[in-house]
Structure 1
């Protein structure tokens, strides 16, 4: 029997002035381990008058992970962080009881042609940490563990796997791994994984049980410890997952919690503008009153 329990196709979603490909959540699979939300941004070619501008908006109960392949994003938040993220680096923001941030094209690129391509990910927090103080960590690309193994380049972007640990300060057992195979390879990595696992194909193809799968798909494993597959030439994939939480998570707009009342309180706090502001920013994204839940279709 195939170890692939589900296939999730990328779906278009509008985040304001930018279209993305939504991968999680999905109606039949809301989370993979602690991973609750994944958006694929681009690849987009932006002209000199086109820029990414996501005004200040709030989060609770999660950590965000931004990982770029091309381009740059200026991150500003209510903690006081102001950091430009570039390809290969990691922005890891833990919202906890509440944080506000904006994401914009850096000033140095706003009047030039540019590209933008990457992943934006939310990782739910353990229930006991959902009300922790917010924090922000930026990890440069050179600090991320990367090595060669069986003809593949493996990069441990966050979490623990393969006997290694990324410097990104995660809050529960998990992993986010990039694997590049310049030449087609047979990979058997199940012994290095745990919990639930998903495989996202960015480029190239993955072959499993005689079936070939292409880009912009997530393959969810029935059993992460049996994760084995074959890749074609010039393939880039991401493996993500970890230990699932015992409690259900609820999600409304940018709010995640194991307690619906916490989400209701956050909604009212944002309506009343009681979240801390982002220094230097005056705009904000209003709470979507009519259809705040993320589309799970």
Structure 2
């Protein structure tokens, strides 16, 4: 079987399929380090992903996996880190929130110790785990899902599904980050601004601090905007003043694959073959990766 797409959704799905005894290959247009997943901040939280009840269930399943992986942070890239969601109230969240260990109300928002995933490390670990299970990753572009020579084809192409399926319901939501030397920040922080496209967050990663961010709908630009970067730094420094003097290491831009609802379903291909769609995760791809992978595996090989 072939999984199309080599981001976190594709690799996680391929791992579960390979570890269930299937012969799996991943066909990816670019290496994992070139995907949107590699740019992600990596904080576990169901953000800009629908439908809420399903996303919550997928997120909780993934949370359990990440909590186990956090025992080996150097290997898996997953750590458990304290932080605050400023301006978030429990009533705004779904039933899933009541099952997040340690999630609690604090002045102005919610606090918790949540998984933070160092995405370049985690993606490399997923690939190694896939290879240990007998799978392989090939850099190979797909232009027609029906032409993929496999009994089961899994579509994890994210924003690429817009043209590949084609599915015009998949739209980009542009996110810009600034990477700085960490001036000693050990906790994450998020605060969603209700003005269009703006938010404030910082996420500590090994050797660096990620500052964000934006959520610009239908913006395809991958070029960092200097004015946007300056505004991101200023917003973060308003929360933690030491960020203002931090040396900038890099600028990053990623396009979240937004959709009114995640598409996770089985379709038929000619010759009795199956196509499983698993895309449209918006800003929650890392958060729901393991839950969606498990459901994809069950759709591909339903129990008798």
More helix by share: 2
More strand by share: 1
TM-score (norm 1): 0.25
TM-score (norm 2): 0.25
**Higher relative contact order, chain-length normalized (CA < 8 Å, sep 6+):** 2
